Structure 1
Amino acid sequence: MNFYGKIILKADLELISPLMIGSGESEISDRDILLNKEDKPYIPASSFMGKLYNELSSDKKKKYFGQKKVEENDKNVEENKAESNKFEHQSYIICDDLLLTQGTGKNTAIRDGIRINPETGLVEKGAKFDYQVLEPGNHFALEMSINVEPCTYGDCKELMKNIVNVLSNRQFALGGKTSSGFGNLQAQNIKVMEYDFADKKQAAAYLLKKETENLFSKYIEDNSMLNDEFRINASFQIVNSFLIRSYSKTPYGSDATQLKCGDKFVLPGTSLRGALRAKAQKILNLLWENKKNEVDMFIAALFGTTSLEKKNEYSVPSSLYVSETVIDNVECQLQNRIQIDRFTGGTIESALFDSMPVFPVPNDKAQLVNLTLTIHKPLPSQKGLLLLLLKDLYTSELPIGGEKNVGRGLLKGTKATVTNGDKSIHFSDFEDIDEATQKLFNQYIEALISKSDNEAIEEYIAKFKKAKA
């Protein structure tokens, strides 16, 4: 088709989990969110396009996103020379910054973080920090276009189809802590319009910014199920009480209350990841008899890591993604506590404090619904470890949050769905799993015990070390 013009995509992106895009400033927290000149949060086009590029599967993306010139002293000149000569030009794709369309952008919150020493289970000294997030409910306007030249219409249409399907069928997340459930955006009201400048009416419509026929139905494909994912979706009841600490902004509030996102109690993905990581390390130390190097590599490949060695700095992205989960059917109660002197048996002076954990409302309903754990491109041994972690959560063996020493944070599973590629397995109790499924799960756990994937994991980690070097 001899098409010359533009393919334009417009969409409304609703923020459905906290967003953290840092500005580099630290006036309000250790990491403040990015604001425009009107003091409103926005998503830079560079952040959006960078994430989109990584999510696209089209082999045309490198060509149409632009190709930089390879310098003569580049170590990879020979490898990239042919491709560079073929594709060297600026990007065909233009994208605006994503500005707020609904929501004030004022519903921000400060969240606290800590770093736990995996060996002692205690907070590392000086490792307390906080960061600012934009809470869900805000909407951002997306507008991007592809410049179509003669003889490129087919490739550009294929690329736009890929973009539409990524936004429509996948969980699209950007910003910081995306592996902990942050930055999830849900695309709504997607419009795809074509403007052929050879047609005077369409050229005029483009210049006057008039919308033409929405071709979304011709660009969308049913691709909602990804065969390279291993996903667990489960619901839980709180056994006793639950507390992820949030601190009052006034001197009259409680010393610690359950964390909220907006007006809802939540289990943040950061707390869940931390608990899962610590438990995973204990499981591997037990199975592999404290083989530190092998354990550290396996944990790094699944949960991600940043090496703290100055001579050998490298970062590995997480393969495990956890959700931020709303806590329903609970009530908050104030509890006063004291600290006892172990030698005298009396109360330590000025050691009176209180907290406001949440307790389940008396009914049969689950308090945490749709808690989700997902591994992209999983290895059998990684599936095995995630199943062991699920069982510990399910059977109240893995407490989460604060004040675990007084019985808080234990969960009891009510139902779960394990999605393995294009197959889904449903159960309410591990005893209810059929023989074929049990056999499959045992194969994954046996792969973990036998370290069958450790060589592949070592090669995976080596790529990031080499890239940094």
Structure 2
Amino acid sequence: MSNGFINRNQRHIIERIIVKGTLVLDTPTCLGSGDADGATDLILLRDSKEDKALLMGSSIAGALRNYLREYRNGYGAIEESLLFGGLRSDEEGEQSPLIVNDALSRENIKVELRDSVKINSVTRTAEPGPKYDLELLEAGTKFDLYFELLIDAENNKEQLVRELAIALQGLERGEISIGTKKRRGFGRAHVEEWQVWEFDMTNPNKRLQWLTLDRDWAKSYAELPNIGKSIETALKVQLDAKDKRDRLFITATFTLATPLLIRSGQASSDKSPDVVHLKSRRNGELKPVISGTSLAGVLRHRAERIINTINKNPCIVEDIFGSDLGKDKNQQAKASRLIVNESVIKETTDLVQNRIAIDRFTGGALHGALFNEQPVFACDQTEFDLEIELRNPKDNEIGLLLLLLKDLWTGDLPVGGTSSIGRGRLQGKHATITLRREQQDKISTISQSTPNESLVLINTESLEKFVAALYEEVIE
């Protein structure tokens, strides 16, 4: 170091690769601005000139960096990558050769409002205080992504391009979520199409093409890009890296055994009933959904009940579902390793039910306590898919999730509100359980056409050992 500055080698850029893509949101997304002064507790980040959502380049780069590290080395591994430069802790780390631009939504912001509240696991009622609401971008919102990879004379081009393809492959497959509450189903997205330009900076004509690409002040001389649905095709690269992430996937198809009511905090119109089931817009149409936050809360409370029944040991629940800062200042918050996605319910019927509160003293109707609710009812075609993923699963944790799946399957674990009057019961139809360890998949399936028919089990002999491992862990 000299004069307070770090001596760095100047990069001799010999090639530039520009990649564009169209990012489409599959579920509502929260891109929080961090501004506390707003109509809601968490408001969307907006462009200062237009009423459009702003997706920061730093957020995209951070998500890509994290995905690349986990894909190549597994969860919790140390990063080894040339694509994103040195670590933050390394003061003399190299600059990232990848430039990630901010992205604006193509259309003006379309907001979806969600309310959330914390439920006490003992009383099963809302806890005082922790109620909040947030703004979400509607599903279907599109962003134009822009990446520029700088190749200098000293870097290995093949390695950089391969790492970029792996990272962008995560966006293409919908495995990278953006925004907050990603592990509760928000922020899922995918890329529809890739466009790639390659410019040889040692060639004067190619430099002119790069200078005039997407510039308002000049005519573009750039050639047509390589276009592909797959980033491998667009970048003309062969990916040989293997996915080293250990994960458990549970994908289960359910139907509704009873009406379902997850309260929506925002009425669709002034003439709506007092309580309406939660709906979210998909392809311009409102669809009833089971939110990831509601399902995760239900699963956590039942997991606590199971563990407390065997032996009071809440550590396993906190290891799976995460924990907040406790009363002990030395305790650290834990992020959830369980990803619970939002589910759209297909083919339902909305019916309004009138209810009235009863005065327990007189046994008559309580004055002024008439209200109506609009749950969703099932028909023969009603079904929805629940998707759950657990990262770095242990045998005992898998056993706990299998017990939760069993309770959902049999209708013993209701979802949503007003479960005390028989709502929220589910009936399982088909489930696929995939355990990926050491780059190998072990798949088990469970099917049941109707509640009266017996289960059809395929490759489920090994599932019993996970439940046994749970019992042994909790007892110890």
Alignment partner, residue 8 of structure 2: none
Q: Distance in 2 between matches of 1:358 and 1:438?
A: 33
8 Å Cα contact 1:43-1:98 kept in structure 2: yes
Match for 2:45 among 20, 30, 34? 34
8 Å Cα contact 1:170-1:224 kept in structure 2: no
Alignment partner, residue 49 of structure 1: 61
Is residue 2:83 matched to residue 1:95? no
Match for 1:188 among 192, 212, 219? 192
Question: Which consecutive residues of structure 2, in runs of 5 or more, have no partner in the other structure?
Answer: 1-11, 74-78, 214-221, 227-232, 449-453
Alignment partner, residue 358 of structure 1: 376
Q: Distance in 2 between matches of 1:224 and 1:104?
A: 40
| Structure with more of its chain in strand, by fraction | 2
SS at match of 2:357: coil
Alignment partner, residue 131 of structure 1: 134
Alignment partner, residue 347 of structure 2: 329
Q: Deviations over 1:321-340 (max 9, x none)?
A: 11111111111111111000
Q: Distance in 1 between matches of 2:13 and 2:113?
A: 50
Q: Deviations over 1:154-194 (max 9, x none)?
A: 33223212223222235110111111110011011112332
Alignment of structure 1 residues 136-285 onto 2, 5 Å: 136-152=139-155, 153-209=157-213, 210-214=222-226, 216=234, 218-219=236-237, 221=239, 228-246=246-264, 247-248=266-267, 250-262=269-281, 263-285=286-308
What's the offset of the Cα at 1:211? 4.9
Alignment partner, residue 7 of structure 1: 17
SS at match of 1:439: coil
Q: Distance in 2 between matches of 1:178 and 1:217?
A: 28
8 Å Cα contact 1:45-1:98 kept in structure 2: yes
Task: Name the aligned partner's letter for residue 155 of structure 1.
Answer: Q
What's the offset of the Cα at 1:127? 2.1
Q: Distance in 2 between matches of 1:46 and 1:378?
A: 30
**Aligned residue-pair number:** 427
CA pair 278-68 structure 1, distance change in 2 beyond 3 A: closer
Match for 2:330 among 300, 309, 312? 312
SS at match of 2:172: helix
Q: Deviations over 1:363-406 (max 9, x none)?
A: 2x3421x2101112211111111111111111101100011011
Q: Distance in 2 between matches of 1:438 and 1:156?
A: 42
Alignment partner, residue 114 of structure 2: 111
SS at match of 1:219: coil
SS at match of 1:301: helix
Alignment partner, residue 468 of structure 2: 446
Alignment of structure 1 residues 357-396 onto 2, 5 Å: 357-361=375-379, 363=380, 365-368=381-384, 370-396=385-411
| Structure with more of its chain in helix, by fraction | 1
Question: Which consecutive residues of structure 1, in runs of 5 or more, have no partner in the other structure?
Answer: 71-79, 455-469
RMSD (CA atoms): 2.5
- With normalisation by structure 2, the TM-score equals 0.84
- With normalisation by structure 1, the TM-score equals 0.85
Task: Name the aligned partner's letter for residue 208 of structure 1.
Answer: T
CA pair 366-229 structure 1, distance change in 2 beyond 3 A: farther
CA pair 213-126 structure 1, distance change in 2 beyond 3 A: closer
What's the offset of the Cα at 1:250? 4.9
8 Å Cα contact 1:169-1:224 kept in structure 2: no
- Larger mean Cα displacement after TM superposition, 375-384 or 203-212: 203-212
8 Å Cα contact 2:115-2:134 kept in structure 1: yes
Task: Name the aligned partner's letter for residue 62 of structure 2.
Answer: G
Is residue 2:321 matched to residue 1:303? yes
Task: Name the aligned partner's letter for residue 5 of structure 1.
Answer: E
